[in-house]
Homo-oligomer: A and B are copies of this chain.
């Protein structure tokens, strides 16, 4: 269960929930790094002029102003706002640092983004996004359009969230097909086609015709295309509709190559779905959406595509392929549905009991020695009765309580400690045993918090 945000749209988690989020972030990061992606972190703000370059998003921007700005500061202060995604900052970062980056530049970025939306139920105004992009200088081979969604699929498969499905389309197919049937107002039509899942075939058809976006015959063909999905057979299905253009053929060749290779690399993860219209005004090749199998109603948890013009800087153009996960939304769904829990509420594996406050140093030194072997340990907050100290551990899910020897003479205490009798209790089953402080180890599964 998620805690209620005291500020609408700004979610926060309890410590145990943050462990879930952190574990997911670590999994994403490890997956990106094992594929050779390097991290960048950009500042949270951008000049407003850069943020509103994409007109549509201007309503979502949080502007910054200094509470005590002086009138004469204005000239030296550019108008700045919080970034609403990680693509605008990437483009700016690449333009600024191109001379010092190695291309193709494979970067990942995991940061908060902000959207200054009107407050409404369920919308996040602050959330974590995790992006991977490959940016080329002047050119970028097609194979990255296969690689990126595969990497994201692997990242998501490493999370205990069940099966996922990557749905793909190709801008060239839609555009090539539409041009072949004599349609030019592609974006307008795609906005209607995008409602297919919500309002159904009949209503989409009616809208296309009623709004005079397409003739009966065009609308018919548009819907035929949009309803095609599946594996390699989609290519023949598109051809069977009976329209052709060079661009369409190029798109079909790309999706064929995509499906063939993606299915060899990660069998069963990708499906073509030609109704996907996401960002077709922006993307220029493959486009991706990702759904959780069995939770399709959550919508796409991770999307992206190929864009030929991420940056134009001086005479150079930088094409890219990128894909992005809305982490907070995913975490929020996971927590709301109790899909994952941490094995304990703190990192601590061992609580070292304290015999009495005057000899707390003994327990502190024992804890230090346990930590030296990579085991998370803390000393009991008080020298209360052992039952109360065990309760401290139990409340937090700490599996082991360590009982150090009673030492009253603190002379050379460090040297004395290893030679005396130590006992460890597994408080889950009550088993207590005499142990050697230099040899005792918890089960590997108890070393770190894990998700279950």
- Please determine whether A265 and B364 come into contact, CB atoms closer than 8 angstroms: yes
Determine which of B34, B361, B364 lies in contact with A377 in the assembled complex, contact meaning CB atoms within 8 Å: B34
Binds B, one of A66-74, A164-172, A310-318: A66-74
- Please determine whether A58 and B63 come into contact, CB atoms closer than 8 angstroms: no
Q: Is A78 an interface residue (CB 8 A)?
A: yes
Question: Within the assembled complex, what's the spacing in Å between the Cα atoms of A44 and B128?
Answer: 11
- Please determine whether B347 and A45 come into contact, CB atoms closer than 8 angstroms: no
Residue of B whose beta carbon sits closest to that of A41: B18
Interface string of A364-378 (1 = CB under 8 A from B): 110010010011111
- Please determine whether A63 and B64 come into contact, CB atoms closer than 8 angstroms: yes
Interface string of A9-25 (1 = CB under 8 A from B): 01111110011011000
Q: Is A431 an interface residue (CB 8 A)?
A: no
Q: Is A101 an interface residue (CB 8 A)?
A: yes
| Interface of A (DSSP majority class) | mixed
Smallest CB–CB gap between A165 and chain B, Å? 20
Binds B, one of A114-122, A181-189, A203-211, A333-341: A114-122
- Please determine whether A97 and B66 come into contact, CB atoms closer than 8 angstroms: no
Q: Is A236 an interface residue (CB 8 A)?
A: no
- Please determine whether A345 and B102 come into contact, CB atoms closer than 8 angstroms: yes
Q: Which residues of A (335-392) have their CB < 8 Å from a CB of B?
A: 345-348, 357, 360-361, 364-365, 368, 371, 374-379, 381-382
Determine which of B3, B11, B93, B348 lies in contact with A12 in the assembled complex, contact meaning CB atoms within 8 Å: B93
- Please determine whether B15 and A107 come into contact, CB atoms closer than 8 angstroms: yes
Chain B residues with CB under 8 Å of A13's CB are 40-41
A interface, size bucket: 35 or more
Chain B residues with CB under 8 Å of A376's CB are 33-36
Smallest CB–CB gap between A45 and chain B, Å? 6
Question: Within the assembled complex, what's the spacing in Å between the Cα atoms of A222 and B107?
Answer: 56
- Please determine whether A44 and B12 come into contact, CB atoms closer than 8 angstroms: no
Q: Is A306 an interface residue (CB 8 A)?
A: no
Residue of B whose beta carbon sits closest to that of A43: B10
Determine which of B371, B374, B396 lies in contact with A102 in the assembled complex, contact meaning CB atoms within 8 Å: B396
Interface string of A224-241 (1 = CB under 8 A from B): 000000000000000000
Of the A-B pairs whose beta carbons lie under 8 Å apart in the complex, a sample of 19, sorted by A's number, is A7-B47, A7-B78, A12-B42, A14-B97, A19-B39, A21-B41, A34-B347, A35-B371, A35-B377, A36-B376, A37-B346, A37-B347, A58-B67, A60-B67, A64-B116, A68-B116, A106-B346, A264-B365, A264-B414
- Please determine whether B15 and A374 come into contact, CB atoms closer than 8 angstroms: no
Chain B residues with CB under 8 Å of A52's CB are 67
Question: Within the assembled complex, what's the spacing in Å between the Cα atoms of A364 and B63?
Answer: 44
- Please determine whether B365 and A265 come into contact, CB atoms closer than 8 angstroms: yes
Chain B residues with CB under 8 Å of A48's CB are 67
Q: Is A291 an interface residue (CB 8 A)?
A: no
Q: Is A62 an interface residue (CB 8 A)?
A: yes
Question: Within the assembled complex, what's the spacing in Å between the Cα atoms of A117 and B67?
Answer: 9
Determine which of B3, B11, B60, B100 lies in contact with A3 in the assembled complex, contact meaning CB atoms within 8 Å: B100
Residue of B whose beta carbon sits closest to that of A377: B36
Q: Is A451 an interface residue (CB 8 A)?
A: no
- Please determine whether A381 and B118 come into contact, CB atoms closer than 8 angstroms: no
- Please determine whether A39 and B66 come into contact, CB atoms closer than 8 angstroms: no
Q: Which residues of A (84-106) have their CB < 8 Å from a CB of B?
A: 92-93, 96-97, 100-102, 104, 106
- Please determine whether B15 and A40 come into contact, CB atoms closer than 8 angstroms: yes
Question: Within the assembled complex, what's the spacing in Å between the Cα atoms of A63 and B81?
Answer: 10
Chain B residues with CB under 8 Å of A65's CB are 62-63, 65, 116
Q: Is A325 an interface residue (CB 8 A)?
A: no
Smallest CB–CB gap between A352 and chain B, Å? 10
Question: Within the assembled complex, what's the spacing in Å between the Cα atoms of A114 and B38?
Answer: 25
